[in-house]
Amino acid sequence: MQIKINDVLRAYIEPLTEAEHAALERSLLAEGCRDALVLWDDILVDGHNRYAICQQHGIPFKVIQNTTFKSMEDVMLWMIDNHLGRRSVGDFQRGVLALRKKDILAQRAEAEAARLKAEDAAIAPPESDAEPVAAKVRTSREDIARAARLSTNTISQIEKIQKTATPELVEAVRAGTISINAAATVATLAPEDQVQAVAGGKKFLQQAAKEIREQRAASRPPKPARPAPWEDGGEPPSLPSEPLTEVEHLRAEVAQLKERNAALRAENAELRERISQLVDAS
């Protein structure tokens, strides 16, 4: 069988890095191609890198057919689920894949709703305004985040990066030069400023994200202090008529210690962040 390469499918999943490609090549040369390539008829679905390396070095390989695919969308959904299950896929790529799955499922739901509406229009009387009930599709932000094993906030940040980040900034996220959180912040800059920040390297990107956050914090209006209940017309707290018992004293001390512990933890986290920034700047 002549295996065909579909360029859309080959580019659908992010390519391996040079280090990952070299490691795969070493493994295939040493151990052979242990996992079979997956085909849809004569189209290669899974194993593009293995296939290219095997062809280059004359390494034998096996193929298996997946007969469940009915459309290119089925193939893409299978590819997404297959890669989401791999531990080697990074957070950003998992988020991108999960969002692609969301788009495919949402389009399918719209198409199904349109089909049902057309069928109902052919059967129901013209004056009927009843909307067809389409099958529910799990495309909420929570569902997508669960599929990618990420938080909903991280999914939102990845969406922002996809919409506003320049290709240079996206590549920096994929390479691990900048975190998803920081990249979403830098993505709010103008495109030329994003490119300049990426060109400055990891430290410059971190500094840019920090400055943007500080500017946002400074521009936020201060939160109004909440009045005490008695200042808002309520009854003032009554003074205890009897002295506190020893147990009550101990409970009060425990509460104070808990508050102090929380404050110390916050201070410790802030200090560690400052130390990390100083180390990066050195």
144 compared with 272, residue with greater pLDDT: 144
Task: Give pLDDT tens digits for 56-115.
Answer: 999 999 999 999 999 999 999 999 999 988 877 889 999 999 999 999 998 888 888 888
How far is the CA of 181 from the CAs of 151, 159, 185, in angstroms?
12, 11, 7
Q: Is the dihedral of CA 91, 92, 94, 99 positive or negative?
A: positive
Task: Give pLDDT tens digits for 135-147.
Answer: 455 567 788 888 8
Cα 123 to the chain's mean position, in Å?
Answer: 44
Task: List, in order, residues 6 or more apart from 98 with CB less than 8 Å away.
Answer: 80, 84, 144, 145, 147, 148, 150, 155
Name the residue among 91, 30, 36, 89 with its Cα closest to residue 65: 36
State the alpha helices, DSSP H only, in 60-190. Answer: 72-84, 91-123, 141-148, 152-164, 167-174, 180-186
State the alpha helices, DSSP H only, in the chain. Answer: 7-12, 18-31, 48-57, 72-84, 91-123, 141-148, 152-164, 167-174, 180-186, 191-199, 202-219, 246-281
Name the residue among 192, 94, 191, 104 with its Cα closest to residue 150: 94
**Least confident window among 91-100, 113-122, 185-194, 265-274:** 265-274
**Quick one: what percent of the chain has pLDDT higher than 70?**
78
Name the residue among 14, 89, 79 with its Cα closest to residue 43: 79
- Count Cβ atoms below 10 Å from residue 86 Cβ, excluding itself: 9
Alpha carbon distance 248, 261 (integer Å):
20
**Least confident window among 38-42, 78-82, 95-99, 265-269:** 265-269
117 compared with 184, residue with greater pLDDT: 184
Residue type, 95: G
Alpha carbon distance 278, 224 (integer Å):
34
Cβ proximity of 154 and 179 under 8 Å: no
71 compared with 240, residue with greater pLDDT: 71
CA angle 32, 37, 41 (to 5 degrees): 150
Using pLDDT thresholds of 50, 70 and 90, give the confidence band for residue 198: very high
Q: For the whole model, what pTM was predicted? A: 0.65
Alpha carbon distance 167, 195 (integer Å):
9
Task: List, in order, residues 6 or more apart from 250 with CB less than 8 Å away.
Answer: none
The full length of the chain comes to 282
